[in-house]
């Protein structure tokens, strides 16, 4: 980094322009959100849209304020716990399976068609089966999250492993590295970026699995609230839950980004 | 003279889906301590395969190899690991061979100091120039104290200018540390400029066509200063014709 006094006039101008541009984008984004909310509120108040069906921002805020009466926090906690467990299980077992498949090209070749089919199969179709097998409760929801994220994890990580620079592996072998050393010294560290990309995809997928699981099991969590709210026509509750869900998803994603920043410099 | 490497009647036949490919036929030669030997030949003749076989990375079909000591191997690319610092990169070979001891680390630090890389030891490979990276790769190989160094087109990934400088650098380091070297290259002048002997291989299946002894009869010979000698072009023409004949 150059020191400030060494910056030329043109450079300063350029930097100022870049900063201005950034601010413009941010302001426009904030404006869109505010305008959307304002329009929604006004249209609902004027009776142009039916707030019974669309809900309205002020009522969402009210529902949000009455967190305790709806037990909202408890539902958020349930969803987050399920997502985290599903996410950790999916990532952990996915990485382990990917390592096994990398280790044994035979097992990898044998399992390839099965993985491809499982990957393209919509896992929510397995929902009823899962509920019958593990019972209608938290375990079923976690299995659902696992089913959705596991195959993608395996395929992504394995793909990264297999595309590790062959020359680097050869280099390690010139020092007589055994397979474990190739794995721990070359393949795994070379794939840390792949790993974090997979985490980012996975946290979203786990949440999809949890919400669709909650739709089916209907005992607790934001997914349950959404289904329940829809059935009793409490659109305020549905909208509030969706917004909280969006915030939860964004927070989880950002924490992975943060984790990546700490690990990858 | 003490033999560091003896290659006897090496044959190599590949099994591929569409048939057998005979790559090497009856290759034999010796390398003495302190020598610099180059192997040249038409592209695709199996030069690199021969090196891989000597290093034990590939199996031979028949023949025998005797090595007196440890082998160091340098590839075309420096293959520095970008997630490790220079110092950690240099220690990789020692780590793999489980000999990352304080004495060996001290030896590595001396090498880094001697070859002007010590101040960069906490930097990452992307912060270094191509020539410096190649030097780091060499030190990584020297760290395991090999008795013979195999160079597989080790400089061909560099641009011409850097390449001349790096060959000069590496040659000096090798002579300094008294390291025996066996280099595979497709560049005739690179082979002449660095070697004591040049082995010319034929087309596939590769056989030893001829072995040239290179002697410039000068003191403090380096890859750069011997290029100015009239003998250099004589050797060049000889080998050029030899390779043309093979074609």
- Give a yes or no: residue A8 inside a domain: yes
Q: What is the pLDDT of residue A4?
A: 55
Q: Cβ contacts of residue B158 below 8 Å, gap of 6+?
A: B130, B131, B134, B166
Q: Is A184 on the interface with B (CB under 8 A)?
A: no
Q: What is the pLDDT of residue A2?
A: 45
CB contact under 8 Å between B75 and A176, yes or no, is no
- Give a yes or no: residue A55 inside a domain: no
Our CA-based measurement puts residue A156 at a distance from the nearest CA of chain B, in whole angstroms, of 21
C-alpha B80 chain-centroid distance: 17
- Give a yes or no: residue B105 inside a domain: no
Contact A183, A102 (CB under 8 A): yes
Statement to judge: residues A80 and A39 lie in one domain: no
CB contact under 8 Å between B96 and A174, yes or no, is no
DSSP string covering A131-160: HHHH-SSHHHHHHHHHHHHHHHHHHHHHHH
How far CA B132 is from CA of B112, B137, B187, in Å, comes to 11, 9, 22
Picking from B67, B90, B92 by the largest number of A CB atoms within 10 A of its own CB, the best residue to mutate is: B92
Is pLDDT at A11 greater than 90 in this prediction? no
- Give a yes or no: residue A61 inside a domain: no
CB contact under 8 Å between B83 and A171, yes or no, is no
Statement to judge: residues A45 and A77 lie in one domain: no
- Residue B74's DSSP bridge partners are B151
Residue of B nearest to A174 (CA): B73
- Give a yes or no: residue A114 inside a domain: yes
Contact A210, A144 (CB under 8 A): yes
Tell me: the pLDDT tens digits for A157-200?
999 999 999 999 999 999 999 999 999 999 999 999 999 999 99
- Give a yes or no: residue A58 inside a domain: no
Statement to judge: residues A161 and A207 lie in one domain: yes
Q: Name chain B contacts of A190, Cβ cutoff 8 Å.
A: 81, 83
Tell me: the pLDDT tens digits for A137-147?
899 999 999 99
Local confidence pLDDT in tens for the 247 residues of chain B: 788 889 888 898 888 888 888 888 888 999 998 899 999 988 778 888 899 999 888 888 898 999 988 899 998 888 999 999 999 999 999 999 998 999 999 999 998 988 888 999 899 999 998 888 988 998 999 999 898 999 988 887 778 888 888 888 888 888 888 889 999 988 888 888 889 999 998 888 888 888 888 888 877 888 888 888 888 888 888 888 888 887 6
- Average pLDDT in chain A: 90
Statement to judge: residues A16 and A83 lie in one domain: no
Max intra-chain CA distance, chain A: 77
Q: What is the pLDDT of residue A160?
A: 95
Our CA-based measurement puts residue A195 at a distance from the nearest CA of chain B, in whole angstroms, of 15
Q: Is B83 on the interface with A (CB under 8 A)?
A: yes
Percent of chain A residues past pLDDT 90, beyond the cut: 67
Residue of B nearest to A173 (CA): B57
- Give a yes or no: residue B134 inside a domain: no
CB contact under 8 Å between B79 and A176, yes or no, is no
- Residue B182's DSSP bridge partners are B37, B150
Residue of B nearest to A192 (CA): B83
CB contact under 8 Å between A171 and B57, yes or no, is no
Nearest to B96 among A167, A170, A177 (CB): A177
Question: Which structural domain, as residue segments, surrounds residue B28?
Answer: 1-69+191-247
* CATH, residue A177: 1.10.3720.10
- Give a yes or no: residue A113 inside a domain: yes
Q: What is the pLDDT of residue B3?
A: 86
Which of residues 142 through 181 in chain B touch A, CB cutoff 8 A? 144
Question: Which structural domain, as residue segments, surrounds residue A44?
Answer: 4-49
Q: Is B55 on the interface with A (CB under 8 A)?
A: yes
Our CA-based measurement puts residue B209 at a distance from the nearest CA of chain A, in whole angstroms, of 28
Statement to judge: residues A12 and A123 lie in one domain: no
DSSP string covering A4-52: GGG--HHHHHHHHHHHHHHHHHHHHHHHHHHHHHHHHHHHHHHTSS-HH
Q: What is the pLDDT of residue B235?
A: 87
Tell me how many domains chain B contains.
1
- Give a yes or no: residue A36 inside a domain: yes
Nearest to B93 among A165, A175, A189 (CB): A175
Statement to judge: residues A23 and A139 lie in one domain: no
Q: Is A168 on the interface with B (CB under 8 A)?
A: yes
Tell me: the pLDDT tens digits for A205-248?
999 999 999 998 878 889 998 999 889 888 888 998 999 999 99
- Give a yes or no: residue B61 inside a domain: yes
**H or E element, residue A216:** helix A192-217
Quick one: DSSP state of residue B23? E
- Give a yes or no: residue B170 inside a domain: no
Residue of A nearest to B149 (CA): A174
Tell me how many domains chain A contains.
2
Q: Name chain A contacts of B73, Cβ cutoff 8 Å.
A: 171, 174
Statement to judge: residues A95 and A206 lie in one domain: yes
Statement to judge: residues A115 and A240 lie in one domain: yes
Tell me: the pLDDT tens digits for A106-126?
999 999 999 999 999 988 888
Our CA-based measurement puts residue B79 at a distance from the nearest CA of chain A, in whole angstroms, of 5
CB contact under 8 Å between B97 and A172, yes or no, is no
CB contact under 8 Å between A176 and B97, yes or no, is yes
Q: Is B81 on the interface with A (CB under 8 A)?
A: yes
Q: What is the pLDDT of residue A217?
A: 85
* CATH, residue B218: 3.40.50.300
| ipTM over the 0.90 cut-off | no
- Give a yes or no: residue B184 inside a domain: no
């Amino acid at each position: 980094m150059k020191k400030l006094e060494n910056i030329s006039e043109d450079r300063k101008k350029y930097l100022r322009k870049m900063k201005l541009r950034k601010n413009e984008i941010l302001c426009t984004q904030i404006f869109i959100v505010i305008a959307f909310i304002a329009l929604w509120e006004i249209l609902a108040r004027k009776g142009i849209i039916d707030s019974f069906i669309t809900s309205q921002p002020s009522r969402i805020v009210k529902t949000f304020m009455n967190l305790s009466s709806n037990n909202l926090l408890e539902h958020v906690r349930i969803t987050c716990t399920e997502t985290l467990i599903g996410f950790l299980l999916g990532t952990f077992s996915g990485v382990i399976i990917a390592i096994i498949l990398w280790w044994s090209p035979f097992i990898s070749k044998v399992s390839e068609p099965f993985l491809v089919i499982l990957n393209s199969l919509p896992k929510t179709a397995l929902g009823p089966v899962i509920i019958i097998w593990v019972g209608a409760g938290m375990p079923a929801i976690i299995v659902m999250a696992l089913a959705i994220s596991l195959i993608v994890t395996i395929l992504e990580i394995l793909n990264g492993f297999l595309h590790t620079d062959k020359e680097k592996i050869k280099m390690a072998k010139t020092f007589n590295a055994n397979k474990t050393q190739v794995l721990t010294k070359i393949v795994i560290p070379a794939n840390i970026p792949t790993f974090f990309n997979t985490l980012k995809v996975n946290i979203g997928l786990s949440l999809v699995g949890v919400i669709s699981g909650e739709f089916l099991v209907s005992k607790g969590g934001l997914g349950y609230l959404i289904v329940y709210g829809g059935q009793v026509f409490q659109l305020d509750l549905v909208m509030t839950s969706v917004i909280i869900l969006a915030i939860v998803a964004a927070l989880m994603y950002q924490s992975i980004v943060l984790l990546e920043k700490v690990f990858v410099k | 003279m003490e033999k560091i490497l003896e290659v006897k009647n090496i044959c190599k036949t590949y099994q591929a889906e569409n048939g057998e490919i005979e790559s090497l036929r009856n290759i034999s030669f010796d390398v003495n301590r302190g020598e610099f030997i180059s192997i040249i030949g038409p592209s695709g003749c199996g030069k690199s395969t021969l090196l891989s076989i000597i290093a034990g990375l590939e199996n031979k079909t028949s023949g025998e190899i005797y090595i007196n000591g440890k082998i160091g191997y340098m590839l075309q690319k420096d293959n520095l690991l970008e997630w490790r610092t220079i110092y950690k990169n240099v220690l990789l070979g020692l780590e793999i061979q489980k000999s990352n001891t304080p004495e060996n680390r001290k030896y590595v630090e001396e090498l880094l100091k001697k070859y002007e890389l010590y101040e960069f030891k906490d930097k990452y490979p992307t912060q270094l120039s191509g020539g410096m990276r190649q030097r780091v790769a060499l030190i990584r190989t020297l760290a395991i104290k090999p008795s013979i160094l195999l160079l597989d087109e080790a400089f061909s990934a560099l641009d011409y200018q850097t390449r001349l400088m790096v060959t000069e650098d590496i040659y000096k380091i090798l002579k300094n540390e008294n390291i025996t070297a066996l280099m595979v290259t497709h560049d005739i002048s690179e082979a002449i400029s660095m070697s004591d002997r040049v082995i010319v291989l034929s087309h596939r299946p590769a056989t030893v066509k001829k072995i040239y002894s290179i002697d410039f009869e000068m003191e403090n010979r380096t890859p750069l200063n011997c290029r100015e000698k009239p003998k250099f072009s004589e050797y060049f023409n000889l080998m050029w014709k030899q390779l043309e004949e093979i074609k």
